[in-house]
Amino acid sequence: MKKGQKTHKPFRPYFSKEMQPFVTAFQKHPQPTQLYYLKKCVEAMEGGEESIFTQNKNGATIETPKSNRIKTIDDLVKHCQIDLDIWEIERYVVNKWEVGSNVDGQIIVEPLFQIKAWLKPNNNVLNIKEIKNEILEEIKSFAPIYKPNNYKRINNGQLLEVNIFDLHFGKLCWGLETGDNYDTKIASKLFLNAISAIIKRSEGYDVKRVVFPVGNDFFNSDTRWNQTSNLTPQDEDVRWQKTFKAGRELLIAGIDLLSKVAPVDVVIVQGNHDWERSFYVGDVLSCWYHNNPNVDVNNQPTPRKHYQFGNCLITYTHGNNEKIIDLPLLVASEVPKLWAKTQFREIHIGHLHHKKEIKFMSTQEIKGITIRFMRSLSGTDAWHNLKGYTGGIRSCEAFIWDENEGLICQFAHNLVK
């Protein structure tokens, strides 16, 4: 080396910590094997597995080149990110070859696949989505402008919880057969009378907020064939379109009454009779109150909703899916931060139409949780009467929660025969 000549260090590529284990394992193989797989990898990265998508007026086709990764139609859907809400797979073919290569004196046989699929637009889903979006946008555009209420300023106030569970709006009961007359007109009157009575009884408290769980089998059926979500036939009063429209108007009337007391948090809780329909009405209510600063609608598609008011945590679920014994741990695991921040915790569920309380206690009473089953205002239908499920008190309940002291009062609105 001549004097003054600079020395050049050998090139050493940098590999991240994530890549290092793979590089080390790769270097253990003979160079011909390394070359073979490097070539295959580069071909894949440079478009060796790029799919060909062709669209025409009748639909589209999608085709993969020869590949050892895309082997099934499910692989194709995932690799090409085919939106099955937009496209429907009309038919497809899968071709397979076996290719042999001599690598370092060893024959390596590798299967290769090629898939071609013919797609057509999923018009049913597209039409439903378009109609739904158009309806929601139209409702938002016509959402009434509510004037802000001048509520009195309350520093340490209470929460009014109004529970009208399992109304089964749309149910038809004939008194001579079941002992109760019940239809949409009767249900509407009972619903509004209950809200008015609860508001009257809460007047002695400094209510700063109202929580109003909606759903929990608010509707009696879920399909146009008058069936529940699980396709159990029901005795219905009127056509399903009229039931939904009248139910929506009834909920709005009730929420408007409650919003005169304090801002209202509406919590949508899906039931086993109206799993889909309660979500739809939640969407409608969200749009209706789009311009109302006094009403908030929680229509998240989760089976359990958690509501915090100061030192209090209330969880809502219908109660037909979970095991009761599992509910406390479910709440603690789903909302650990809310659990840690609160001392007074309850789970309010419907479904059984009768009152029941279960208290779960851990080593300290401060960590306990109470499960309450709510009563129902609904009348007895023919099936329940046939099976002897009669005699329960028809009622709804309300609770007063203090921000710091927890539950301080509860009262019921009972139907007297």
Q: Tokens 């695991």 label which residue?
A: 333
CA–CA separation, 369 and 359 (whole Å): 6
Nearest to 146 by CA among 293, 265, 296: 293
Name the band, by pLDDT with cuts 50, 70 and 90, for residue 203: very high
Can you point out the beta strands (E) in 239-334? 264-269, 295-298, 305-309, 312-316
Query: Of 30-34, 169-173, 252-256, 320-324, where does mean pLDDT reach its minimum?
Result: 30-34
**Tokens read off for 80:** 């090409």
pLDDT in tens, 275-293: 899 999 999 999 899 889 9
For residues 3-12, give the mean pLDDT. 56
Name the band, by pLDDT with cuts 50, 70 and 90, for residue 130: low
CA–CA separation, 97 and 116 (whole Å): 15
Would you list the domain boundaries of the chain?
Answer: 23-122, 134-146+155-414
Is pLDDT above 80 for 321? Answer: yes
For residues 206-229, give the mean pLDDT. 90
pLDDT at 50 (0 to 100): 62
Architecture of domain 134-146+155-414: 4-Layer Sandwich (3.60)
For CA atoms 178, 180, 182, 187, the dihedral sign is negative
pLDDT at 353 (0 to 100): 46
Name the band, by pLDDT with cuts 50, 70 and 90, for residue 269: very high
pLDDT at 128 (0 to 100): 61
CA–CA separation, 400 and 162 (whole Å): 9
Q: Is the pTM of this model over 0.75?
A: no
Is pLDDT above 90 for 54? Answer: no
Name the band, by pLDDT with cuts 50, 70 and 90, for residue 212: very high
pLDDT in tens, 76-106: 788 777 777 778 888 888 888 777 766 666 7
Best-predicted range by mean pLDDT (36-40, 70-74, 142-146, 338-342): 338-342
173 or 255, which is more confident: 255
pLDDT at 346 (0 to 100): 94
51 or 201, which is more confident: 201
283's enclosing H/E stretch is: helix 275-288
Please calculate the CA angle 327-169-287 and round it to the nearest 5 degrees: 80
CB 64 within 8 A of CB 114: yes
Report residue 20: phi and psi, to 5°: -55, -45
Name the band, by pLDDT with cuts 50, 70 and 90, for residue 360: very low
Chain centre distance of CA 49? 37
Nearest to 167 by CA among 246, 283, 231: 246
Average pLDDT, the chain: 82
CB 287 within 8 A of CB 143: yes
CB 61 within 8 A of CB 41: no
